[in-house]
Structure 1
């Protein structure tokens, strides 16, 4: 079973349309990350590459359309 550190609204993440990556600061100093494709596939857990913490991304599927528009 995965242990979720926190639940973060998608609006609090930064989105990079070039890498299609959502990021949010982690307490360890690195950043939680999850891709747009993962969110589109229904994945909602962002992981930190430097430590074991994970956060759940709170979003509605229709929220993702604005980010998909940035890719066009």
Structure 2
């Protein structure tokens, strides 16, 4: 059972990690990459502890590099980001 269910819009894009992140109670960050989202993965894991969260998102928003959906702008962490 996951620690929590989190909407992708509530996560932040981290350029350094090249992943969407969300704060973990242990002090680190849950992480999930765009490639994992494209594959249908919905689990973001914390690299420092055993907790994980279920990410709620529309997989179609992350499919195909040439499609319009790849250019869609997602709202994450209170700021607009481009999803490629």
TM-score band by shorter chain is 0.7 to 0.9
TM-score of the aligned structures, taking structure 1 as reference length: 0.80
Q: Distance in 1 between matches of 2:18 and 2:3?
A: 23
- Give unmatched runs, 5+ long, in structure 2: 63-69, 74-80
User: Per the alignment, do residues 58 and 70 of structure 1 end up closer, same or farther by CA in structure 2, a change over 3 Å counting?
Assistant: same
| Larger Rg, first or second structure (1 or 2) | 2
Higher normalized contact order (CA 8 Å, seq sep 6+, divided by chain length): 1
Report the count of equivalent residues: 70
TM-score of the aligned structures, taking structure 2 as reference length: 0.70
Corresponding residue number in structure 2 for 1:70: 82
4+ residue runs over 2 A deviation: 16-20, 62-67, 69-72
Q: Which structure's residues are more often helix, by fraction?
A: 1
Q: What is the alpha-carbon root mean square deviation over aligned residues?
A: 2.5
The answer (yes or no) to whether the contact 1:17–1:70 under 8 Å persists in 2 is no
Q: Report the Cα offset of residue 20 of structure 1.
A: 3.1
